[in-house]
């Protein structure tokens, strides 16, 4: 039954999406994401497309070519409102042709050069011959044609003139993957949009339509990998019982170019293998991993590899045996090498035994082994040195390991940015990090160039995003959370992309092409990230969230067993001032950055104010660049964040004529929650910090709505997304 799942379900697949595309404007719940193929309402544009796309030729082939044909049936059928006519080459009609370069008619091949195209790349080209217009989507391999098809359909949805389409694209990053922090019981660590979409209980026999739609959505933005399970791993996923279920998903995903990866618990040889040790130097352990790799590849020949979290936050790892991360990675890399599999080893490590500065530990453990890792190992580094904060400077490892491929890890789910209730456009954050200059080879050595391998000519590159996907009807909880998934995929394909251009694409393909809608909502999205920084962690404050669930403010928390778990560890507020001194007089974390940055950030007068309290402990009456005191500046920033949410609410209210009622009401209610919680952040933090500053609130700041004691008393034992307990 599972040999040809795509073909078996093609009829249901098509009819289901015809139903979705025919949904009335008022009933859209967002399930279709940016792939809503409702009929184009602009009559002139519709007529021009119908005239240009009189028939379609899709090269015969395997499952990926079948997926292309199905997507065009849905896409063109829905957008143009007509049945798609698939024909062989027609010299008498304007035609869309989707074919690999070698199968194109010679007259077309002579006009197209694929020399610079990767296997995943594609070309879309307008060609006129004998009075007829042809639109060609071509490439070297089937997967490139699929990516090109999605690009073409996106162009239609954005009302682009077809005679101007002249596109040549290849991805700049090799592995573009989602990391699902999904547990086998369907809970999702830091998940805020329902349960895990993987129903392990009914797999492999029951195939949920959502699995196929998940693959389509990822392929449409160029994502080519998915790690199905939590980095806080459960070894059971590597047992035959679960590998059979993983195989079912891999078979479904294959036509869409989506490879499956699994999180490997380092102690698996003991927990499911019956060994007495997981020491990477033990011959039995080495053989166990080789046997496990052979078992996986026998049933999943295109298995991507292992994602590993080791010796971090209680997870087992090679350091349990006196070994290094390098030692552990080598064992897994050797097991996967003959299958061209990849080991992705996370650099998120910190220990209660390092009392200096949590921000420094990953650098200390990984940089000394730069250049020693096997060729099939990627070190996955979070975008900042702490933990997915609303704003962090880029991780210093990106400027310090020129001989090792570093994989970017972004968090798409909003663990520290208001969960799925706050509208925060994350591609703005991603862009800020990617365009940061490491100065590794002088000015212009951006993080993006490190990640895509162009700075140091890396053969293996990658970018990962921690998923925000769940069983909610619209996948991501907040309708605008879809933009974060979409934007991650676009930036993983090309890290140099502009977040404003991505917002424009997403709005047009998800909602409307009406400029009266696009312009104000795009402006709102682009400002939303700065708003959340202002009302949560302004001027370089960080990690002042409440305990465990990270829901809401908790700057007063200081009673946890490990110092680096406590917010007081990070803001260090006292009678003298506030902030974490990371200069030479403090932890000297600045020494991990290039000299140009250490000098710039090390002086409060030249340090950008958005990082001021990240690198400096400063007096409450320190004078900011605008002439106001640090204390006043904090209060003003908190208020600005609140005011920005009020503006977002006003903007969205005015968009009611352009958005279906369901999603308009949904976003309106969520913005109401966001405003309430922004005020909560402002009031709780400023009241707490006032106990040290002993200064009046600035005149620009509204008076707090409750007392500090009230905010301290709030408890949320059932906040969503809490990390499960493990041994």
Within 10 A of 88 (CB to CB), how many other CB atoms are there?
A: 7
Distance CA 16, CA 27 (A): 16
653 is catalytic: no
CB 491 within 8 A of CB 463: yes
621 is catalytic: no
| Token pair listed for 29 | 């719940």
79: part of which helix (H) or strand (E)?
A: helix 63-80
> Would you call the peptide bond into 613 cis, given omega within 30 degrees of 0 as the criterion?
no
Distance CA 27, CA 21 (A): 11
Distance CA 667, CA 658 (A): 13
CB 189 within 8 A of CB 724: yes
Torsion from C-alpha of 553, 559, 561, 562, nearest 10 degrees:
50
Distance CA 266, CA 271 (A): 10
Distance CA 284, CA 263 (A): 21
Residue 685 phi/psi, 5-degree rounding, is -70, -45
Quick one: DSSP state of residue 162? G
| Token pair listed for 519 | 């312009």
| Token pair listed for 54 | 């009189």
Distance CA 218, CA 510 (A): 15
CB 97 within 8 A of CB 108: yes
Q: Report the candidate in 375, 360, 356, 416 with the shortest Cα–Cα distance to residue 542.
A: 416
Within 10 A of 488 (CB to CB), how many other CB atoms are there?
A: 27
Of 71, 169, 174, 415, which is the active-site residue?
415
The CA–CA distances, whole Å, from 480 to 33, 510, 528 equal 10, 10, 11
The CA–CA distances, whole Å, from 715 to 151, 325, 552, 553, 719 equal 47, 38, 10, 11, 9
Long-range CB contacts for residues 354-359, cutoff 8 Å, separation at least 24 = 355/563, 356/587, 357/580, 357/582, 357/586, 357/587, 357/589, 358/385, 358/386, 358/564, 358/569, 359/385, 359/386, 359/582, 359/587, 359/589
Distance CA 647, CA 643 (A): 6
> Would you call the peptide bond into 204 cis, given omega within 30 degrees of 0 as the criterion?
yes
Within 10 A of 577 (CB to CB), how many other CB atoms are there?
A: 20
| Token pair listed for 506 | 């997403």
Of 59, 244, 313, 643, which is the active-site residue?
313
Distance CA 643, CA 678 (A): 9
| Token pair listed for 460 | 């293996």
By three-state DSSP, how is residue 288 classified? helix
Of 182, 213, 251, 387, which is the active-site residue?
387
With tokens 């954005």, the residue in question is: 158
Within 10 A of 396 (CB to CB), how many other CB atoms are there?
A: 25
387 is catalytic: yes
Catalytic residue numbers read 313, 387, 415
């Amino acid at each position: 039954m599972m040999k040809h799942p795509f073909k078996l379900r093609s009829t249901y697949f098509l009819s289901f999406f015809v139903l979705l595309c025919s949904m009335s404007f008022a009933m859209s719940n967002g399930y279709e994401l940016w792939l809503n193929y409702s009929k184009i309402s602009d009559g002139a544009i519709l007529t021009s497309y119908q005239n240009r796309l009189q028939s379609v030729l899709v090269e015969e082939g395997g499952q990926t070519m079948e997926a292309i044909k199905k997507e065009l049936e849905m896409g063109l059928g829905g957008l143009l409102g007509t049945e798609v006519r698939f024909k062989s080459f027609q010299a008498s009609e304007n035609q869309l042709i989707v074919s690999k370069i070698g199968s194109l008619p010679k007259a077309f091949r002579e006009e197209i050069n694929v020399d610079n195209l990767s296997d995943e790349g594609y070309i879309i080209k307008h060609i006129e011959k004998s009075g007829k217009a042809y639109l060609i989507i071509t490439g070297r391999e089937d997967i490139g044609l699929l990516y090109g098809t999605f690009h073409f359909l996106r162009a239609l949805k954005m009302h682009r003139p077809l005679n101007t389409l002249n596109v040549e694209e290849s991805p700049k990053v090799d592995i573009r993957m989602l990391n699902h922090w999904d547990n086998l019981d369907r809970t999702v660590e830091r998940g805020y949009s329902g349960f895990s979409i993987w129903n392990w209980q009914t797999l492999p026999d029951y195939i949920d339509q959502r699995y196929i739609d998940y693959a389509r959505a990822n392929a449409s933005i160029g994502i080519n990998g998915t790690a199905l399970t939590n980095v806080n791993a459960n070894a059971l996923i590597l047992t035959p019982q679960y590998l059979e279920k993983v195989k079912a998903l891999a078979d479904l995903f294959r036509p869409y170019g989506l490879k499956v990866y699994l999180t490997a618990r380092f102690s698996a040889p003991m927990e499911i293998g019956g060994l007495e040790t997981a020491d990477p130097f033990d011959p039995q352990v080495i053989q166990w991993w080789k046997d496990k790799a052979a078992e996986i590849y026998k049933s999943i020949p295109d298995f991507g590899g292992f994602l590993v979290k080791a010796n971090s936050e209680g997870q087992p790892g090679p350091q349990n045996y006196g070994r290094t991360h390098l030692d552990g990675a080598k064992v897994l890399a050797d097991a996967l090498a003959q299958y061209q599999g990849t080991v992705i080893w996370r650099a998120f490590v910190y220990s209660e035994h390092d009392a200096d500065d949590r921000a420094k530990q990953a650098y200390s453990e990984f940089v000394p082994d730069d250049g020693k890792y096997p060729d099939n190992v990627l070190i996955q580094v979070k975008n900042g040195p702490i933990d997915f904060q609303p704003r962090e400077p880029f991780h210093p490892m990106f400027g310090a390991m020129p001989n090792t491929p570093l994989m970017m890890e972004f968090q798409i789910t909003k663990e520290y940015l208001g969960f799925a209730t706050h509208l925060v456009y994350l591609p703005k954050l991603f862009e800020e990090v990617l365009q940061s200059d490491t100065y590794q080879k002088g000015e212009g050595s951006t993080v993006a160039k490190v990640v895509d391998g162009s700075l140091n000519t890396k053969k293996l590159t990658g970018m990962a995003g921690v998923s925000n996907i769940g069983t909610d009807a619209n996948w991501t909880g907040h309708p605008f959370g879809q933009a974060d998934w979409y934007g991650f995929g676009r930036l993983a394909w090309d890290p140099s992309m502009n977040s404003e251009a991505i917002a424009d694409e997403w709005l047009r393909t998800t909602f409307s092409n009406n400029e009266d809608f696009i312009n104000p909502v795009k402006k709102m999205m682009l400002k939303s990230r700065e708003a959340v920084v202002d009302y949560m962690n302004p001027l370089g404050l960080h990690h002042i969230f409440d305990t465990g669930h990270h829901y809401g403010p908790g700057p007063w928390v200081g009673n946890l067993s490990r110092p680096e778990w406590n917010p007081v560890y990070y803001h260090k507020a006292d009678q003298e001032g506030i902030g974490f001194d990371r200069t030479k007089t403090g932890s000297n974390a600045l020494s991990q950055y290039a000299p140009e940055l250490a000098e710039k950030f090390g002086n409060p007068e030249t340090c950008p104010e958005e990082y001021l309290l990240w690198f400096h402990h400063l007096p409450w009456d320190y004078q900011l660049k605008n002439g106001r005191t640090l204390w006043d500046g904090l209060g003003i920033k908190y208020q600005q964040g609140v005011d920005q949410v009020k503006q977002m609410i006003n903007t969205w209210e005015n968009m009611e004529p352009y958005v279906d009622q369901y999603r308009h009401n949904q976003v309106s209610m969520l913005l109401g929650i966001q405003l309430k919680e922004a005020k909560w952040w402002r009031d709780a933090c400023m009241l707490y910090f006032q106990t040290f500053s002993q200064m009046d609130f600035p005149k620009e700041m509204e008076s707090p709505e409750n007392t500090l004691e009230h905010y301290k008393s709030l408890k949320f034992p059932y906040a969503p997304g809490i990390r499960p307990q493990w041994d």
